[in-house]
């Protein structure tokens, strides 16, 4: 009896917090749906990039924000997903749906292999080992010219059709990526609210306690690591179609650093954080590219310093703190 009331109370709390989150998410979704009709074509492309990087950041958020494992090597899976779909659909003429799924599977397998090495370490060691892994992936992509085109890049990736729509138009492709973003957000919410996701958060708070409670913490982290790789692969596939050409640099440190700052800036461990982060970073890169072309990396580095000094819980945390102070008054 008492157990069932407790469960009911828990459910009510769950639904309550779900409702506010859902409203916020629906608001964002409506904005994303109507926005392309009010902005010039160029910015539809920018928004598409925001969406792709939001998917990328959601995956890393699962690893960093919910499991407590900040990775500096997500570019490996992003680039691998992109090259996977490019090589399959262009070089080997594989049908697009198979190429897309195959590329994501390859990115996931790569994460499964890299995870075995990276998860031997925690904390700052983990950061550096994931960075080393993405740098070696870059080296593979850069030197394997016959497959990836090396420094010349891999051109000629064409977008598939999707049911009756052609995706060559920027707006259609935008909605195509938006569909994946919605799927990613739904999948993410289901994951973090599942017992599995709660166990991940337990590991983030205290891995040793979770282990003593009988959880195989390594396996949980390993699965989260692979999931983050899969999200990265999906983002890579979408970016390959979006740009139409792939560069080995996608596996390098820069996309990894960008997506990590997106998660930090948005607010690790929040559902809306990666979307905020992706919007802010892509927006900032657009603006700064006009005024300070070629100095983007310096601003990116500055972003890390500023957020580590003043707002480690990101913009979402910052807003929450301000709201709390405001409501106390």
Partner 1 sequence: MTTLAQVGLNTASLASLLFLVAAGLSLTFGLMRVLNMTHGSFYLLGAYVGLTVWRTTGNTPLAILASSLTAAVAGGIIYWGFLKRFSVLDEMPQALLTFGALLVIADFTMWRWGADFFSFPGPAFLRGPVELVGGISYPKYRFFLMGSGLVLAIGLYLFVARTKIGALVRAGVDDKLMVQALGINTPMVFLGVFVFGSFLAGFAGMMGAPFLGINPGLDFEVLILAFVVVIVGGVGNIEGAFVGAILVALIDTATKTYYPELAWFSIYVPMAVILAVRPRGLLGRGA
Which residues of this chain interact with partner 1, rule CB under 8 A? Answer: 70, 72, 116-117, 120-121, 123-125, 127-129, 131-133, 135-136, 139-140, 143, 253, 257, 260, 264, 294-295, 297-298, 300-305, 308-309, 312
Of 209 and 295, nearer to partner 1 (C-beta) is 295
Residues 6+ apart with CB under 8 A from 280: 262, 265, 266, 315
Closest distance between partner 1 and the C-beta of residue 139, in Å? 4
Closest distance between partner 1 and the C-beta of residue 77, in Å? 17
Closest distance between partner 1 and the C-beta of residue 294, in Å? 8
Of 98 and 139, nearer to partner 1 (C-beta) is 139
Tokens coding 269: 């461990």
Query: Rounded to 5 degrees, what are φ and ψ at 306?
Result: -60, -45
The closest of 113, 90, 88 to 98, measured between CA atoms, is: 88
**Chain center to CA of 101:** 17
Closest distance between partner 1 and the C-beta of residue 258, in Å? 10
Q: Is 249 exposed, middle or buried (0-12, 13-18, 19+ CB in 10 A)?
A: middle
**Chain center to CA of 190:** 16
Of 14 and 123, nearer to partner 1 (C-beta) is 123
For 225, half-sphere exposure in the C-beta direction (CA atoms, 13 angstrom radius) is 28
Closest distance between partner 1 and the C-beta of residue 130, in Å? 12
In angstroms, the CA 329 to CA 310 distance is 23
**Coil, helix or strand at residue 75:** helix
**Chain center to CA of 173:** 19
Closest distance between partner 1 and the C-beta of residue 248, in Å? 12
Of 36 and 255, nearer to partner 1 (C-beta) is 255
In angstroms, the CA 83 to CA 104 distance is 10
Of 94 and 140, nearer to partner 1 (C-beta) is 140
Closest distance between partner 1 and the C-beta of residue 143, in Å? 7
Of 196 and 304, nearer to partner 1 (C-beta) is 304
Of 39 and 308, nearer to partner 1 (C-beta) is 308
Q: What is the largest distance, in Å, between two alpha-carbon atoms of the chain?
A: 68
């Amino acid at each position: 009896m008492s157990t069932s009331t407790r469960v009911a109370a828990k459910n009510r709390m769950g639904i309550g917090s779900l409702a506010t989150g859902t409203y916020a998410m629906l608001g964002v979704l409506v904005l994303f749906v109507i926005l392309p009709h009010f902005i010039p074509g160029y910015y539809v492309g920018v928004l598409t990039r925001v969406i792709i990087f939001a998917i990328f950041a959601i995956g890393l958020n699962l690893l960093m924000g919910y499991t407590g494992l900040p990775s500096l090597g997500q570019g490996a899976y992003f680039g691998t997903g992109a090259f996977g779909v490019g090589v399959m659909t262009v070089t080997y003429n594989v049908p697009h749906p198979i190429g897309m799924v195959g590329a994501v599977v390859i990115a996931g397998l790569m994460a499964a292999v890299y995870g075995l090495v990276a998860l031997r370490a925690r904390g700052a060691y983990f950061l550096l080992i994931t960075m080393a892994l993405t740098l070696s992936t870059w080296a593979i992509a850069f030197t394997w010219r016959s497959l990836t085109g090396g420094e010349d890049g891999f051109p000629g990736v064409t977008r598939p059709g999707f049911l009756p729509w052609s995706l060559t138009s920027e707006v259609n492709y935008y909605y195509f990526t938006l569909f994946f973003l919605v799927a990613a957000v739904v999948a993410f919410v289901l994951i973090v609210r599942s017992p599995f996701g709660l166990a991940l958060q337990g590991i983030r708070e205290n891995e040793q306690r979770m282990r003593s409670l009988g959880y195989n913490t390594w396996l949980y982290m390993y699965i989260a690591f692979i999931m983050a790789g899969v999200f990265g692969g999906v983002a890579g596939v979408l970016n390959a179609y979006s740009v139409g050409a792939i560069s080995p640099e996608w596996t390098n440190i820069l996309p990894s650093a960008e997506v990590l700052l997106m998660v930090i800036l948005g607010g690790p461990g929040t559902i809306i954080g990666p979307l905020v982060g992706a919007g802010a970073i892509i927006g900032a890169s657009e603006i700064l590219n006009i005024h300070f072309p070629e100095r983007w990396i310096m601003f990116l580095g500055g972003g890390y310093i500023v957020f580590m000094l003043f707002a480690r819980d990101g913009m979402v945390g910052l807003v929450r703190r301000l709201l709390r102070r405001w409501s106390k008054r």
